[in-house]
Amino acid sequence: MWLLKKYMPVFDWGRTYNRDALSNDLIAAVIVTIMLIPQSLAYALLAGLPPEAGIYASIVPIILYAIFGTSRALAVGPVAVVSLMTAAAVGQVAEQGTMGYATAALTLALLSGGMLLLLGVFKLGFLANFLSHPVIAGFITASGILIATSQLKHILGVQGGGHNLVEMVENLVTQLGQTNVITLVIGVAATAFLFWVRKGLKPALLKAGLKPRLADIATKAGPVAAVVVTTLVTWAFGLSAHGVAVVGSVPQALPPLTMPDLSTDMLRALFVPALLISIIGFVESISVAQTLAAKKRQRINPDQELIGLGAANIGAAFTGGYPVTGGFARSVVNFDAGAETPAAGAYTAVGLAIAAIALTPLVYYLPNATLAATIIVAVLSLVDFTVLKNSWTYSRADFAAVLATILLTLGFGVETGVTAGVVISIGLFLYRTSKPHIAEVGLVPGTQHFRNVLRHEVETSPTLLTIRIDESLYFANARYLEDYVLDRVVKNTELRDVVLMCSAVNEIDLSALESLEALNTRLLDLDVRLHMSEVKGPVTDRLGRTHFLEQLSGELFLAQYDAYQALAKGREAA
């Protein structure tokens, strides 16, 4: 039973499920379902898939996440960034609108799900940490701009196209003369209305005397109002005959059983895009899940989240969907609506299943411009240029990384952008740790504390050099420390002892060990002893399994104060 509870959290929270939780989950499910119907259709449009694919991707994946996921508020399904990445990846192997395109999207979901599942089973969730937050913020900002720009073709009623910002803008400019005025009016009106709904509807309703809960529900249902009104107008005036593109016929059915393309060529072509989608999807999902869990003092298990998201994507692959993850907007709505458990997601799936059976004929005359407006309003909230200002103020290296990620994403597309983000994040880590902060420290008078000689008035000894290393030692920075110490010793012929203060060193790898051995030998040739102080237990244990401590020319001190007393004060007394 413990194994089931470990890998299927439903057996944990399900034991305490009660009537109050049921009531709260049902209310949240109704609100989220209303929000997801137009959003799912819109994101399928963004991914280049038939509108029903968005609904299908929001049914079985939600149920599977409810079984395997640990977040009680995360709402899984299609999201803007992953939809854009799906279009970019699948567009390279199949032509949009063909059966091969939809099948490739299934394969992409299966690959992504398999990768996430394996990462979760082998507890490799920490790998997502290699993407720094500033780089992620830069990528999402650039993606938001790309997504909004890609939807302008539907607002204008032109063909559009392009894989990067330059191509999109160029195509839009050259096709401005072909703009469908009626489509433009519908798109602009829907966009303006949705912006007003997001910012002004709730205050207006509260001012009119509506209760906060009802005002909140009405605000969340705003996109549905835009869908209903524009659909009725298009139908009543026969606008589709005047060039207004509409959703058209949507199958009136539950998600079908589908089979991804498992050919070697397809798997090879989509492997890297699937990996990138998995990384971005997991980072976005875990960030949202942890933020919402913290508000209720709940715990999220990142490795189990990988399993939950992996199961959801595999479910999407076999039920007509495409890659999914936890969405920020829908998860916040789910949380604010009072969702108590993942069962709220399952009830949402039931609501969407009912919509897939009963409501799909009603969206035949839904203008694509309305769906585009829904996407534009949703993704512009992702665009945040303050990350550039903040990173410039705090760290020039982070600023360069963010700016490079934004420019590469806008200039070369999402795959290049996210690949660059991963490479830059890892590069920043290696750059910073390859030149660790090293401080020469001295004794603060009247205490047993040691501080940087450049920042504080401290006691030092002309024959003693104490170096504090503020980083673990590994292959990339070991030589830097060796060169620093030797350079310092050569410049001061009075030095007789060097102490490496290792209070911040959590790891010393084999390359660093060899560098320390070389440093010990070279200092001995200069008649200088090498000592170490405040070495942590696990590091001492590992060093103890080698001959290094036996060959060390100096001593291993428990505290830096002990080293100072023995080497500086002791030499003075002698």
CA distances for 24 relative to 18, 336, 533, angstroms: 10, 11, 57
How many CA atoms are closer than 13 Å to the CA of 48, on its beta-carbon side? 27
Tokens standing for residue 390: 């903040």
Could you read off the pLDDT tens digit of each residue along the chain, which spans 574 residues? 555 566 677 777 777 788 888 888 888 888 788 778 888 888 998 899 999 999 999 999 999 998 898 888 888 999 888 998 999 899 989 998 889 999 999 999 999 999 999 999 998 877 766 667 777 888 888 888 988 898 999 999 998 888 789 999 999 999 999 999 999 999 999 999 988 888 887 788 888 887 777 777 777 777 788 888 999 999 999 999 999 999 888 888 899 999 999 999 999 999 999 998 998 888 888 878 877 877 777 778 888 899 999 999 999 999 999 999 988 777 877 787 778 888 888 899 999 999 899 888 888 999 999 988 988 888 887 788 888 898 899 888 888 888 888 999 899 887 788 778 778 878 888 888 888 899 999 999 999 999 999 999 999 999 999 999 999 999 999 899 999 999 999 998 899 999 999 999 999 999 999 999 999 999 999 999 999 999 999 999 999 999 999 999 999 999 999 999 999 865 555 4
Q: What are 533's strand-pairing partners?
A: 501, 557
Distance separating alpha carbons of residues 141 and 146, to the nearest angstrom = 9
CA 34 to CA 218: how far, in whole Å? 10
Structure tokens at 61: 């994946």
Residues 6+ apart with CB under 8 A from 171: 153, 159, 160, 161, 162
Kindly list the domain boundaries of the chain, sorted by start residue.
18-427, 438-573
Give pTM, 2 decimals: 0.78
Which residues sit opposite 469 in a β-bridge? 438
Number of Cα atoms under 13 Å in the Cβ half of residue 448 = 6
Q: Which helix (H) or strand (E) holds 499?
A: strand 497-501
Q: Which structure tokens are listed for 435?
A: 């030149």
Per-residue pLDDT at 256: 93
Tell me whether strands 325-326 and 438-443 are parallel, antiparallel or unpaired: unpaired
Beta-strand relationship, 450-452 and 438-443: antiparallel
* Cβ atoms within 10 Å, residue 128: 21
Query: How high is the pLDDT of residue 113?
Result: 96
Nearest Cα to 451, choosing from 459, 102, 163?
A: 459
> Whats the size of the chain, residue-wise?
574
CATH class of 438-573: alpha beta
Contact status, residue 518 vs residue 482, Cβ threshold 8 Å: yes
| Backbone Cα Rg of the chain | 30
- Dihedral pair phi/psi, residue 5, rounded to 5°: -65, -30
- Which pLDDT score, from 0 to 100, does residue 332 have? 76
Question: pLDDT value at position 7?
Answer: 66
